Structure 1
Amino acid sequence: MKVGVTGGNGFIGRYVCEELASRGHVPLVFDHRGRAERDLPWEVMRGDIRDATAMTELAAHCDAIVHLAAVLGTQETITNPRPAAETNLMGGLNFLEAIAQYDLPGVYICVGNHWMDNSYSISKTAVERFVRMFNAHRGTRVNNVRVVNAYGPRQQAAPPFAPGKVRKITPAVVCRALSGLPVELYGGGTQVSDMVWVGDVARALVAALEAAAAGEVLDHVVEVGPTTSSSIREVAELIIDLCVARGYPRVPIADLPMRPGETPGTAVTAQTKTLLSVGIDPSSLVSLEEGMARTVDWFIENRGIHWDVPDTETGTETGTETGTATGTVAGA
């Protein structure tokens, strides 16, 4: 199949394209970022998911669509919810209308913290419900895949390490640990927010797409996450231990107040048995220990390219990669 991937230039999107290609499919990246044509091996269609005409054109040029593109951010979208609402809601509806028009199979990526009251979770979960409505009343073939915190190589860090606009757990902790800075954890890291290797996320998304293409529209959400839960503090301690094992000094953990948009005392986990419905054995997922070791090694190898230690005098990064667009992106 020729598969359109909205947000295919994003963190998860690139892994999805690689997974599609490994299974014999042809990725077609749909992204609004101009740098995509220069460094992606896939065909690229420039466009914005908020543009209904552009999304219809994408559907006219492929056999299926994986919809990843979204405005991300938990606390980042609270003070200005409009970009998340407009992009995520209207983009999601444009995706559904386009595949309904051309009778294409599709996959929609859902958020693990779907019950939380922040702009990102609210807007993403509304579209998850629209998927169920379209499947029931419009005859679409779309499977929902809910993903907890994806991590792995190539995930963009936020300032002062790199120009990313959304602070994500793994790059934030890894970059601080490798820079000799205290690791800052919201809420002290006591909350459970499970982590999943990004390659496993891509595997589940493509498997769910292939199921939809075969006419198997699931009556439940496929949830991608580890079989064993860990607190954010346990994840941070693992990363610090991995950095120490590689010759870096041990850094302390600094506790910060819980950030806005998160619900204290709740756990972001996955019902991993749902993976069986798309032919994936939960025990086959990459373990947290192995995945984090690969990720730390990648960040070490890519210092000065993908990220850099901040200048202690100016508080800015000293050689981060330039030209990385932000805003409508995919992944976690």
Structure 2
Amino acid sequence: MTVPQPMTPADLKPILTVSSLLLLAIAVLSLFAGESWLALLDSAHWTVSAGTAWVIAWQGTLHGDAGQYWYRRWFCYGTGLYFVGQCCWNLQELFYWNPFPAPSDVFYLLMGPCFTCGLLKALRRRVSSARLRAVKLDTLAMTIALLGFILALYLPNAADASALELAVLVAYPLSLLTAASVASLALPFLALELTWASGLLPAALLAEGCVWMQWNLQALTGTNQGASILNWGFSIAGLLVGVGAYLWQAERRRTAPVRTYRAVLRAIPVAALLVSVATLVLIWLSAQPQTAEMLIAAGAGGSVLLLSALRHSLLSKENGK
């Protein structure tokens, strides 16, 4: 069977040119605009970025073959719902109605789960049931480890936040970083060729998740500023997510480093353990560690160890060891 050739950014040149010019114009205006205009300009470049990412992912769905449609459509859903969330945010700003959580949050939060669903569908069609379960266990372990880290980061600053508000603030980075984890796991489990096209999607989702994690932390501390570099991080990472969704393919290639990937598969649980260790370091460095933080860190670390053991047992049985 002939392996489809990867689509290239050259196919996106008209879309990226128009959006880049719009973003450049907004950036220039931000340098000279008064403070009262900064929120509007932030919304403008977020809208351009989110809309462009959706159009790019949609084009990827149209241009992909039948085997790619099953996962590419979820990338299109994710970027499209994120764009809807941005439009809801614009309406909320227009009417000065900004409760939290708000309708826009519902749509924003769906991008990560949509990408996770698409990536798992791609894996389900190409790996054994045992390996698919191993992917799910690895994903769960990393999600629990990330949850512990984010909570350890947020809790010292969340005294005035309700349980619902804290849950939504945590869900933003957690859902995107989970999707980034699955996209990273797809590289060794599918034995994909190591190219910037295959690595762009996990890197972009990781960047988007980190931007949300920092932005929400600043929201808790009341230090967010209009037209900041962090605010522009949403637009840059968002565009990269769209391009990554367009380029990503689940087809294995002969040039993939299979031997290297075998070693990577054995070492994957270490990543979640390192996040758990980072959580403990973060708590230890805090001025007044809370009991809740210590319990969360201990629970996350224990869960990661248990899931890693289950995963190792599962793959060992498949390999006949």
Normalised to the residue count of structure 2, the TM-score between the two structures is 0.28
Higher strand fraction: Structure 1 or Structure 2?
1
Higher RCO structure, 1 or 2 (CA under 8 Å, sep 6+)? 2
TM-score (norm 1): 0.27
- Comparing both structures, which one devotes a greater share of its residues to helix? 2
